[in-house]
Amino acid sequence: MPERKRLVAGNWKMNGLRADGISLARALAARAAEPHACDLLICPPATLLAAVGEALAGSAIALGGEDCHAAPSGAFTGSISAEMLKDAGCSHVILGHSERRQGCGESDADVRAKIAAAWRAGLVAILCVGETGAERAAGRAVEIVAAQLAGSIPTGSIPTGSIPTGSNADGADAARLIVAYEPIWAIGTGLVPTSADIVAIHAAIRGRIPAGTRILYGGSVNPKNAAEILALAEVDGALVGGASLKAEDFWAIARACR
């Protein structure tokens, strides 16, 4: 089994106007010309995809979307399809983020349909899973994450757009899926699980996903805690929210992959 190269991905969420986004993307593109040991991805809001894509052109940083609709096109005012993301230069899309599961009422079935759409369009899907603080306190973290994985990952034969991938007759495979473990109570709070808890959940996820799939940790990753988190067994990178909005911080996290 080839080694899993780590990925540091930035989720800009609903942040950034054109000038900020372009200048952040340019700063990161310049940094990414320096030696680094991980794959890099930034996922800006849809309004910035074209401008950020242009600023990243020729750099080592890939472009991703923050969400997509399950349908390829149609009467879905305000939505963006996976095909549109692909057309805008994206290679990845974040799906099932807790802010969409909780704030927009997305179910596992919705997320599953979106992942299938991402694959249809030739995008790598970054599937977010994670428990609430109450669920963790009740000892249900693994149960919750396992149910999200079981409900959100498509099964059966699904065409895989242009992603170069191996056999996928049984559904997902490692070339088109990344899982991000994001405990909801750790997102944007400055709280982080213990290293032992991260390792335990990642190991539980590993047993439930296709061999070779990367598992990212997300939730208050910053330049101070990145080295410890990224050195943990089964942590194949980070999904970074707040700290991805500052070039120096995002780059410091990327540099923590050694």
Give every CB contact of residue 226 below 8 A, 6+ residues apart in sequence.
Answer: 238, 252, 253, 256
Of 8 and 158, the one with the shorter C-beta distance to ligand PEP is 8
Output the smallest distance, CB 157 to ligand PEP, in A.
30
Residues within window 230-249 making contact with ligand PEP, judged by CB under 6 A: 239-243
Cα–Cα distance for residue pair 129/124, rounded to 1 Å: 16
Of 46 and 221, the one with the shorter C-beta distance to ligand PEP is 221
At residue 207, the 3 state secondary structure works out as coil
Retrieve residue 248's tokens: 């120096």
Say whether 182 is catalytic: yes
Retrieve residue 53's tokens: 């894509």
Output the smallest distance, CB 99 to ligand PEP, in A.
7
CA nearest to 229, candidates 206, 252, 199, 190: 199
Check binding of 229 to ligand PEP (CB under 6 A). Answer: no
Which residue in 83, 97, 131, 234 is the catalytic one?
Answer: 97
Q: What angle do CA 14, 12, 186 make, to 5 degrees?
A: 100
Which residue in 131, 182, 202, 234 is the catalytic one?
Answer: 182
Q: What angle do CA 198, 201, 216 make, to 5 degrees?
A: 65
Check binding of 218 to ligand PEP (CB under 6 A). Answer: yes
In the 8-state DSSP scheme, what is residue 2? Answer: P
**Which residue stretch of 15-23, 51-59, 130-138, 218-226 sits at the interface with ligand PEP (rule: CB under 6 A)?**
218-226
Q: Which of 219, 235, 236, 247 binds ligand PEP (CB under 6 A)?
A: 219
Residue numbers at the binding site for ligand PEP (CB under 6 A): 11, 182, 187-188, 218-221, 239-243
- Active-site amino acid positions: 97, 182
